[in-house]
Structure 1
Amino acid sequence: MKKVAFLLADGFEDSEMKNPYDAIVKNGNDAVIISLKAGDELKGKKGTIQYTSHLAASEARAEDYAAVIIPGGKSPSHLREDKDIQAFVQAADKAGLPISAICHGPQVLASAGLLQGRTLTGYAAIADEIKQAGGNYVDKEVVVDRNLVTSRTPEDEPAFIEETINKLGVSAY
């Protein structure tokens, strides 16, 4: 069983959390929700689902995980300026862990300074931000650049989940 970190705050895109989370758990992995504080009740922006965070980013160590998933929606905007969140994704990237970010998720990677020279996608409205952070934005369903897996919207979730599972090295869902 592998531990997979989900970086999450209030206002996440419901399906972009639920569907990858369910796929990771269905594959026999341990999904750990990391937020700004442990025990926070985090609600999806559509109000269809909520989760309780397991750990604060300040308590989490990237080396304890096999992969990191960053759902989109408004959640990344709440996480991106937090120094502990930035340090966590920087350590995960340095260790070569798969980091999967969908929709607005790449904003966390941009704030952590991880996009220089990388090719990725995300929600169309953040294309300029990705470019300003040194990334090469492409409008595709899913983009894999070394350890980064990125997608644009909920419609891209099947490909996003498949590539994430592939990077994790477990059977396809």
Structure 2
Amino acid sequence: MTPLVHGFDWPDRFVVGTVGQPGARTFYLQARAGSQLVSVALEKEQSAALALKIDEVLDRLMAEDGNPFSVPEKAPEGLLDHEPLDEPVEERFRVGTMSLGWDPTTAQIVIEALPLAGSEDEEALEEFDPEDFEPEEVLQVRIPVGSARVFARRARELVGAGRPICPLCGAPIEGDEHVCTLPDSFR
């Protein structure tokens, strides 16, 4: 079965955003072109990893002799987007895997998000073969290099805006009630 591809070749907007309060936030990738709006849920760590990898790809391209794709060193101020997610935020699927690519013919970063594969059922998980997994739908977004820098910056800022991390144990600090559990190496 051919998956439904939610394709955005030059979206009006592509952002990572959150719904909820720190400690109980849900992260979303959201793409919009005209009236087409697609939101997919992902983990905070996936958001951070995607931002890191986008910056790594852009840094490598920028380092090419003469910066042939005009990759900016940092997010262009005129493209920054601090607005909340577009409404309604309706989760199409939860992201399982993502891929990141580069299209030199259009000078665009290509991001593909596939749904979480498998099942909650333990017996079904034992029989699950990822090679046979065919997703029902896919989000595919193509964005220019300046927009990619802006996307990565926003994602890093959102990830960093969560609960503070304890410098000793690495766990999130929950208000004034944090009980630090030091790793064995500190005992």
What band does the TM-score fall into relative to the shorter chain?
Answer: under 0.3
TM-score between both structures, scaled by the size of structure 1: 0.22
The structure that is strand-richer by fraction is 2
Larger Rg: 2
The structure that is helix-richer by fraction is 1
TM-score between both structures, scaled by the size of structure 2: 0.21
Ranked by relative contact order (alpha carbons within 8 Å, sequence separation 6 or more), the top structure is 2
